[in-house]
Structure 1
């Protein structure tokens, strides 16, 4: 089996877990602003996860799952279209956009921001019991500064 270099997790730099989590919250806030409409975002906090194949005491990734509920299902559709058009203007590259493989065929958008070393996966769950956008952000691999260890939260 050959390894595809494009699937490698990028190096995001040196940071403490808490500083990297703060940076991720800023990225999420920017995504919220790009939605361009009133709605309710979940109050979730970023967390720390391992970097596959790296020392878990010195390398980590940040993940931030959250959701957005709009006033109507049609607003969710508009928010997805807006993200598709606005993300590239803010340094994001759309990797895929279209229906997912679920029975509901939810619209899904995946994008990467090489400068920020963050990926986003947005799913429009308009056909579910609680219509919302599900947003999952994940960073590249960070290394903690010398003498520090990864904080888990």
Structure 2
């Protein structure tokens, strides 16, 4: 791997996997609040994976993919409007907004929070039979504290 691989994912500091997972869950909860509409989030929790280009015994990333289904189908677009607004405040920077190449031309948002070393990507499936948002929160690379091991989930 080239040095470029390590520079694309920021270092998030030193943390045990439990603390890093808790930090990602907190950001996912914040994103859920940002939707501003009633709905249900899917259950699977965060996972832990090796950090690309770094020693897999010492560095890891936390990822949390989940879905948000608004109570009302019409609220899917409202949720995206709220997310677009909120992901430009409080340390969040909206990095990209585009429509994908799918037949439905789904709206995609990508935002980073440099202070928290977190990134979120969101895809709005507004034209599906059951409209929903696919959301994934990903951390920067954490270094496991000396003497601890990475707990992969």
- What's the TM-score bracket when you normalise by the shorter of the two chains? over 0.9
- The answer on 1:134 being equivalent to 2:134 is yes
What is the CA-CA distance between 1:130 and the residue it aligns to? Answer: 2.8
Instruction: Calculate the TM-score normalised by the size of structure 2.
Output: 0.93
Count of residue pairs brought into register by the alignment: 151
Q: Secondary structure at the match of 1:67?
A: strand
Distance in 2 of aligned mates of 1:16 and 1:33: 26
- The answer on 1:145 being equivalent to 2:141 is no
| Conservation of the 8 A alpha-carbon contact between 2:73 and 2:130 | no
Gaps in structure 1 of 5+ consecutive residues: none
What is the CA-CA distance between 1:18 and the residue it aligns to? Answer: 1.2
Distance in 2 of aligned mates of 1:58 and 1:148: 9
Gaps in structure 2 of 5+ consecutive residues: none
What is the CA-CA distance between 1:74 and the residue it aligns to? Answer: 2.1
CA RMSD in angstroms, aligned pairs only: 1.7
Note the 1:71-110 alignment, pairs <5 A: 71-110=71-110
Residue in structure 2 matched with residue 15 of structure 1 by the alignment: 15
1:65-97 CA deviation, whole Å, 9 max, x = no partner?
Answer: 011101233201010011111121221111111
Instruction: Calculate the TM-score normalised by the size of structure 1.
Output: 0.93
